[in-house]
Amino acid sequence: MMSMDGHAEASVELAAITRNVAALRAHVAPAAVMAVVKANGYGHGAVPAARAAVRGGADWLGVVHVAEALEVRRAGVDVPMLCLMAIGTDDHAAAIAAGVDLAAGSADMVRRLAAAAEVAGRPARVHLKADTGLSRGGATPADWPAALAAARAAEAAGTVVVAGVWSHFASADEPGNPSIDAQLTAFKEALAVAERAGIAPPVRHIANTAAALDVPQARYDLVRIGGGCYGLATLPGGAPPWLRPAMTLRARLVLVKRVPAGAGVSYGHRYTTSRETTLGLVPLGYADGIPRSATGKPFVFARGRRWPIAGTVCMDQFVVDFGDESVTEGEEVVLFGPGDGGEPTAQQWGEELGTISYEIVTGIGSRVPRSHYEIAL
């Protein structure tokens, strides 16, 4: 493990991202891989994550907002990129000018993108989104023909190129859930309706990490992999062992002290020492992404074992009861990582806290410095 300069840090093993993408690419071939680097690369840093993914052979990058796409483009990463959410107020002309593809799930959005294309002075590359049952973005079967017709009209006018047709699953992380087959059938139908309307998209895509791993017939031409790039998945039990979690969250104890038996610890005294003991203070709190619900959880790895969080997680800090272990001020503790040193994983945090690993890693606050390195030492 590398040591850190400051009081806490999220360190990101870039080679893990590169290898994860390469392994995923081999796994889903001949489908191509879009590495999703939205939300600051799931908290790992959008630009370093994008570069690491491209080194691993990512054919595409996926983001949500135009601003996220432009950040990656400005860093000089020039592989095909798609903004996954159709947001009417985004600066679409800037995205088109930067060679970024955009999503549209309605005739109205297609027309907005066509208008932005006139401003940008080049056609908008559009991925038409069908709602196959998630009832989030995308056109329902009733609205799909109008979206297709708008796209055909804009193609004829030279303002739009249909670059893809796509959709998204509701329950790809629940193997065998009947909605998966129902959505695949609906997607097939949406593609057939598009073809009859004269649209034969160069790429068709519906799978996220869970579907790419678990539903081979969902891979089509391209899979959109977010969590998998970072060694995470929302499938039961998490990602397969051939994917390596890339982020390690660590901190230094900023204070160590002996307290007597019967000391109430942290807000509300929800923990009381049962005997004289050593408390250590970890300078991370819920403002940094340590959920308040982690109170009492055995999430602190030090001296070869896991220690429970003693008492309430505060905004900026929490306390650990180390018993008679002679921990020292400045000593490093690990909150989660790939798990190979005995530390908990983000997957285990998610399981313990009734959420998913994605919420843990994306929740690590901007106050926590990220450090990027190639390979764990």
Ligand X SMILES: *Cc1c(COP(=O)(O)O)cnc(C)c1O
Name the residue whose CB lies closest to ligand X.
Answer: 226
* Separation CA 170–CA 284 (nearest Å): 34
Residue 239 tokens read as 């990602």
Residue number with CB closer to ligand X (65 or 122): 65
Binding of ligand X by 36 (CB under 6 A)? yes
Catalytic residue check, 257: no
Measured between alpha carbons, how far is residue 60 from residues 10, 161, 223, 238 in Å? 26, 17, 9, 24
The correct pick among 43, 56, 201, 227 for binding ligand X (CB under 6 A) is 227
Q: Which stretch binds ligand X (CB under 6 A): 22-30, 204-212, 250-258, 306-314?
A: 204-212
Q: Work out the number of other CB atoms within 10 angstroms of the CB of residue 95.
A: 27
- Least separation in angstroms between residue 43's CB and ligand X is 12
The question of whether 188 is a catalytic residue gets the answer no
Q: How far is the CB of 205 from ligand X (least distance, A)?
A: 8
Residue 168 found at the interface with ligand X (CB under 6 A): yes
Q: Which stretch binds ligand X (CB under 6 A): 70-78, 227-235, 298-306, 316-324?
A: 227-235
Closest approach, Cβ 157 to ligand X, in A, equals: 28
Stretch that binds ligand X, among 104-112, 196-204, 223-231, 341-349 (CB under 6 A): 223-231
Angle of CA points 92, 96, 98, to nearest 5°:
115
Closer by beta carbon to ligand X, 226 or else 338: 226
d(CA 199, CA 147): 11
Binding region for ligand X (CB under 6 A) out of 17-25, 91-99, 225-233, 247-255: 225-233
Give the whole-angstrom CA distance, residue 213 versus residue 14.
Answer: 22
Question: What tokens appear for 190 in the block?
Answer: 């949406």
Among 95, 124, 163, 225, binds ligand X (CB under 6 A): 225
Lay out the site mask for ligand X across 259-298 (x = CB under 6 A, - = otherwise).
----------------------------------------
The burial class, CB within 10 Å (0-12 / 13-18 / 19+), for 237 is exposed
Q: Tell me the Cα Rg of the chain.
A: 23
Q: In 10 A of CB 364, how many CB atoms? A: 25
- The DSSP symbol for 210 reads H
Q: Which two tokens stand for residue 194?
A: 């598009």
Helix (H) or strand (E) holding 110: helix 107-120
Binding range to ligand X, per CB under 6 A, among 118-126, 140-148, 220-228, 333-341: 220-228
What's the gap between Cα 344 and its chain centre?
19
Question: How many residues does the structure list for the chain?
Answer: 377
Question: Of the two residues 103 and 302, which places its CB atom closer to ligand X in the complex?
Answer: 103
Residue 24 or 333 having the CB closest to ligand X = 24
Catalytic residue from among 129, 220, 257, 267 = 267
Q: Is residue 209 part of the contact set for ligand X (CB under 6 A)?
A: yes
Q: How far is the CB of 197 from ligand X (least distance, A)?
A: 23
Mask: binding to ligand X, 67-86, rule CB under 6 A, as x and -?
-----------------x--
Nearest in space to 126 (alpha carbons), one of 76, 72, 83, 63: 83
CB of 133 vs ligand X, minimal distance in Å: 14
Per CB under 6 A, the list member of 27, 51, 224, 370 interacting with ligand X is 224
Size of the site for ligand X (CB under 6 A): 13
For residue 309, give the nearest of 280, 350, 331 by alpha carbon. 280
- Comparing CB distances to ligand X, the nearer of 38 and 244 is 38
Token couple for 315: 């905004």
Element (H, E) at 47: helix 46-55
* Nearest to ligand X of 36, 107 (CB atom): 36
Residue with tokens 């796994």: 27
Is residue 301 helix, strand or coil? strand
Tell me which of 38, 220, 271, 297 is the catalytic residue: 38
Question: H or E stretch including 204?
Answer: strand 203-207
Residues that bind ligand X (CB under 6 A): 36, 38, 84, 168, 208-210, 224-228, 234
Active-site residue list: 38, 267
